[in-house]
Structure 1
Amino acid sequence: MYDTILVATDGSDSANRAVEQALDLASMFDAELYGISVVDTRRYGDSMLSGSSGVIDDLSDRAEEVLAGLEAQADVGVTTTVRRGRPHEEIERYADTVDADLIVLGNRGLGASGEIGSTAERVVRYIDRPVLTA
């Protein structure tokens, strides 16, 4: 049913649930698994980031750690990438690149309240692929 699964993670609790779901589905369907973590440069504002690559480097390092955790959990091969930009746009670009049959992501991110997170909402609304939120 699914040959290629993309899981987006930021290390939040709901993203960790999404990782578990993606790992289970990839194993069940013997699917290729891809992981993405996006450094949201717009969250902090261009003016704040323009003079400091240290902030971006720290965020990128954190994203690499999150993806290393995904790789450590997997009993299937995982191809991972860290991207910079607007999360839903980068998730869509990578999903197109790998021709994902399914996108899996958490329903809330690191800063979200009890409602669906903005990235999850945008992915569900604007990306023309099946999406599973956890």
Structure 2
Amino acid sequence: MYETILVATDGSEPANRAVDYAVDLASTFDAELCAISVVDIRRYGDTMLSGDTSIVGDLERRGTELLEDAQTRTGVDVSTELRRGRPHEEIARFAEESDADLIVVGNRGLGSSAEIGSTAERVVRYVDRPVLTV
């Protein structure tokens, strides 16, 4: 049913659950699992970060750590991708590039208290493939 599953992570509890679900699905369907983490520098203000490479570097290191965690705590092979940009756009772009059959995202992110976070809502709304929110 699924050949390639893409999971997005930002380190939030819902994203951690999404990784667990994606791993279970990949194991069940013997699917390739791809994980993405997106550094959204807009969240902190482009002008504030434009001259400070140490903050961007810290954000990228955190994203790399999240992806490494997804690789080490799973029983399946996970290919990873770290990107900069708007999360929903980069998730959509990577889903297209990896020909993902399913995208798994947490229903809320790090700063969201809404029922569904803005990134999850945008992925569901604008990506042209099945999306599972966890």
TM range (shorter): over 0.9
Structure 1 residue ranges without an equivalent (≥5): none
Q: What is the alpha-carbon distance in structure 1 between the residues aligned to residue 19 and residue 133 of structure 2?
A: 10
Runs of 4+ in 1 over 6 A off after TM superposition: none
- Give yes or no for the alignment of 1:83 onto 2:105: no
Question: What is the rounded CA distance, in whole Å, between the counterparts of 1:127 and 1:92 in structure 2?
Answer: 6
TM-score (norm 2): 0.98
* Residue correspondence of structure 1 range 54-73 to structure 2 within 5 A: 54-73=54-73
Give me the whole-angstrom Cα distance separating, in 1, the residues matched to 2:46 and 2:68: 28
Aligned to 2:122: 122
Q: Give the count of matched residue pairs.
A: 134
Q: Does 1:38 align with 2:38?
A: yes
Report the counterpart of residue 49 of structure 1 in structure 2.
49
Matched, 1:21 2:41: no
Question: Where does the alignment leave 5 or more consecutive residues of structure 2 unmatched?
Answer: none
Aligned-residue sequence identity (percent) comes to 67
Taking structure 1 as the reference length, what is the TM-score of the superposition? 0.98
Letter in 2 for 1:77: D
Aligned CA RMSD, in angstroms, stands at 0.6
Cα distance in 1 for residues equivalent to 2:8 and 2:114 = 19
